Chains A and B, each alone.
Chain A
């Protein structure tokens, strides 16, 4: 009896393993982008538990293979290669723009669909032979810059200054914000850069103040975005201060304290999910995500970044179900990956936490401006909804 048991078990196990859908995940759980990457990883850990309880997708077990890229492009590319070799059906990630851009040639060569969690429009635009395989969930700088400029125009701002990170994030924002501002008739009077490790931004702040702009946009993410804002206040800057959606986490409020009171920023609607009008399409999905995340990781722990990961799965799940009807990953992985890509592109009107996704051959972002951005203000140490664009 025992002689049979082991091979039988092994056989059963291998059959069960064959039915498993492996989804590769690359996030920046350590390094400078960790404050974004950790909630993303947490979201996938939570999803794994959820799927294990529910029994996966279409009767197949789903396994997330989660790898950390340490906010490093080389590591992200290496991780992606490894995931492709392990036979994942799709790759989700990664957190940062440079690393996501680095992953594109790898997934395109291996013909594996990828959903990036990074901001830049360059990741999915233009949809060429390589980006054919690439989708993404977060709003682009372009989309968010549109929200900021619309808000500035509504408040009668005529001149603006800009200070941003001296890296891909800050440069991307400078490019899209300054283009959008000029298109709407605003004058950009100063454009400065700083590093997140800087111990002083006095020089930049003084230069901006000397030009007397009506409003200043700070193109930075996380807690290092507090620093220029505090320096501007200390040096007596009287105008409006805008931040980007990269600061939408509780740590920004904790470190900023009184200094960031009154800050205006564009954000994905999930940031103020409870304050959204009940007709707002993503409200219900967003509240559901927040409830699940907080039940798992504690009250007040959710952030908009983790929600991008949740959205990636919301898109991937129905696409997987449809693709499973067309091809069998156990028999022909390449055909399944191609079918999955086609089904991702066919996603229509999918309501997620950050908006409504409708992909097409030309548009691999799929978010509409009106559903995906709201303006928020810091008031009493909390985020307050001040404007929707619907």
Chain B
């Protein structure tokens, strides 16, 4: 191995690592607030670029129907004034999509809004009615949703991959495309933004409080349902943006999300599903590990990456107190 190869591998590791990092942070956030392990985050991530490709081709994606159907269920579950949000959101989404069919500039916000709406509606319809359930029950529901969304992805978008046009084409230097720079910049912005959100805004503080101690937060007038929705909205937003930026580099397809989500999950586990910085560092480690194993022993790459879980879980089991909230 020489310096050029090392440089390429490090850049590759960084680019993949930050994506896993964003997914890991989103998963930690959702887990902290709602105790849901967000397995379907990979599908949400893939729905964004695939819907975008459909819109740019002048077609309405099937995900729109899914989002509107879940939105309608959400409205049914709410009472009185609570119905305003899902109904307004649904109408807005439909309008945005109809407009975006004619103008490509609107396609990006439309795809992002779709995924966020879908994410929040999924929480309201599938997870909130289970409130106070065990982590296992949530996990089973999450895995079920992942399987369902992946299957629907195949129905909506077909079995093949799609490649949206990159926002910026060309290379900055050998091994790093402008699109790759965008991905890195976005990761930096997202992490910084989240930090500021949690430190400075009242909403962010309320979320942190709800994650720290739900009963206490409730006594202070923070509604855990609302906190859950906000957590899901942030996670879906991160997933949608990451998916849109990443798709031109990796080709989006309905089956691509799960592995990304799983690697993000490995990173989140490395952080004990608790710590944002450790999860992000864990993600960079996963990226690094993956990049080098793909160079040295490509046939065993996946096995080696998931083997990382074993020491992490072992360490956690030594440290953890055997209590569940």
Residues of B within 8 A of A222 (CB): 159-161
Tell me if A203 and B258 are in contact (CB < 8 A): no
Task: Flag A154-182 by CB within 8 Å of B: 1 or 0 each.
Answer: 00000000010010000000000000000
Residues of B within 8 A of A201 (CB): 294
Closest B residue, CB atoms, query A193: B299
Tell me if A34 and B154 are in contact (CB < 8 A): yes
Task: Flag A30-46 by CB within 8 Å of B: 1 or 0 each.
Answer: 11111100100000000
Residues of B within 8 A of A234 (CB): 171, 177
* B275, CB-defined interface residue at 8 Å: no
* A348, CB-defined interface residue at 8 Å: no
* B211, CB-defined interface residue at 8 Å: no
Smallest CB separation, B11 vs chain A (Å)? 8
Instruction: Point out which of B16, B174, B249, B251 has the most chain A C-beta atoms below 10 A from its C-beta.
Output: B251
Closest B residue, CB atoms, query A197: B259
Binds B, one of A47-55, A138-146, A204-212: A204-212
Binds A, one of B82-90, B285-293, B309-317: B285-293
Residues of A within 8 A of B174 (CB): 235-236
Tell me if A210 and B154 are in contact (CB < 8 A): no
* A313, CB-defined interface residue at 8 Å: no
Residues of B within 8 A of A197 (CB): 255-256, 258-259
* B15, CB-defined interface residue at 8 Å: yes
Smallest CB separation, B301 vs chain A (Å)? 8
Q: Among the listed A194, A203, A226, which residue makes an inter-chain contact with B291, where contact means beta carbons less than 8 Å apart?
A: A203
Smallest CB separation, A150 vs chain B (Å)? 28
* A278, CB-defined interface residue at 8 Å: no
Residues of A within 8 A of B299 (CB): 166, 192-193
Tell me if B161 and A223 are in contact (CB < 8 A): yes
User: In the assembly, what is the distance between CA of A251 and CA of B252, in Å?
Assistant: 13
Tell me if B160 and A199 are in contact (CB < 8 A): no
Residues of A within 8 A of B16 (CB): 199-200
Known contacts A194-B298, A227-B250; decide if A202 and B291 are in contact (CB<8 Å).
yes
Tell me if A224 and B295 are in contact (CB < 8 A): no
* A322, CB-defined interface residue at 8 Å: no
Smallest CB separation, B267 vs chain A (Å)? 14
Tell me if A224 and B8 are in contact (CB < 8 A): no
Smallest CB separation, B50 vs chain A (Å)? 13
Tell me if B294 and A204 are in contact (CB < 8 A): yes
Q: Among the listed B255, B291, B296, which residue makes an inter-chain contact with A200, where contact means beta carbons less than 8 Å apart?
A: B291
Residues of A within 8 A of B259 (CB): 195, 197-199
Tell me if B159 and A203 are in contact (CB < 8 A): no
Residues of A within 8 A of B250 (CB): 199-200, 227
Tell me if A226 and B251 are in contact (CB < 8 A): yes
Residues of B within 8 A of A223 (CB): 160-161, 251, 253
User: In the assembly, what is the distance between CA of A378 and CA of B110, in Å?
Assistant: 36
Tell me if B256 and A203 are in contact (CB < 8 A): no
User: In the assembly, what is the distance between CA of A193 and CA of B295, in Å?
Assistant: 10
Smallest CB separation, A224 vs chain B (Å)? 6
* A127, CB-defined interface residue at 8 Å: no
Tell me if B291 and A199 are in contact (CB < 8 A): no
Tell me if A194 and B294 are in contact (CB < 8 A): yes
Tell me if B294 and A255 are in contact (CB < 8 A): no
Q: Among the listed B162, B260, B295, which residue makes an inter-chain contact with A203, where contact means beta carbons less than 8 Å apart?
A: B295
Closest B residue, CB atoms, query A252: B160
Residues of B within 8 A of A192 (CB): 298-299
* A196, CB-defined interface residue at 8 Å: yes
Tell me if A255 and B163 are in contact (CB < 8 A): yes
Known contacts A201-B294, A204-B294; decide if A255 and B15 are in contact (CB<8 Å).
no
Task: Flag B69-102 by CB within 8 Å of A: 1 or 0 each.
Answer: 0000000000000000000000000000000000
* B246, CB-defined interface residue at 8 Å: yes
Closest B residue, CB atoms, query A209: B5
* B225, CB-defined interface residue at 8 Å: no
User: In the assembly, what is the distance between CA of A202 and CA of B290, in Å?
Assistant: 10
Tell me if A193 and B298 are in contact (CB < 8 A): yes
Residues of B within 8 A of A202 (CB): 8-9, 12, 175, 291, 294
User: In the assembly, what is the distance between CA of A251 and CA of B298, in Å?
Assistant: 26
Residues of B within 8 A of A194 (CB): 294, 298, 301
Give chain A interface residues in 280-327, CB to chain B under 8 Å: none
Residues of A within 8 A of B160 (CB): 35, 222-223, 251, 254-255
Residues of A within 8 A of B298 (CB): 163, 166, 192-194, 203-204, 207
User: In the assembly, what is the distance between CA of A235 and CA of B171, in Å?
Assistant: 11
Smallest CB separation, B159 vs chain A (Å)? 4
Smallest CB separation, B101 vs chain A (Å)? 21
Instruction: Point out which of A195, A202, A210, A234 has the most chain B C-beta atoms below 10 A from its C-beta.
Output: A202
Tell me if B8 and A206 are in contact (CB < 8 A): yes
Residues of B within 8 A of A204 (CB): 294-295, 298
Tell me if A224 and B161 are in contact (CB < 8 A): yes
Smallest CB separation, B284 vs chain A (Å)? 14
Smallest CB separation, B184 vs chain A (Å)? 14
Task: Flag B132-175 by CB within 8 Å of A: 1 or 0 each.
Answer: 00000000000000000001001000111111000000010011
Give the 3 A-B residue pairs with the shortest CB-CB distance, closest first. A203-B294, A203-B295, A34-B159
Query: Can you offer 14 A-B residue contacts whose CB atoms are under 8 A?
Result: A30-B154, A34-B159, A35-B158, A193-B298, A193-B299, A200-B290, A202-B9, A203-B12, A203-B291, A203-B295, A206-B8, A223-B160, A224-B253, A235-B174
> Other than the known A166-B301, A203-B291, what 12 A-B pairs have Cβ atoms closer than 8 Å?
A31-B159, A32-B255, A38-B159, A199-B19, A199-B246, A200-B12, A201-B294, A204-B295, A207-B296, A235-B8, A235-B174, A255-B251
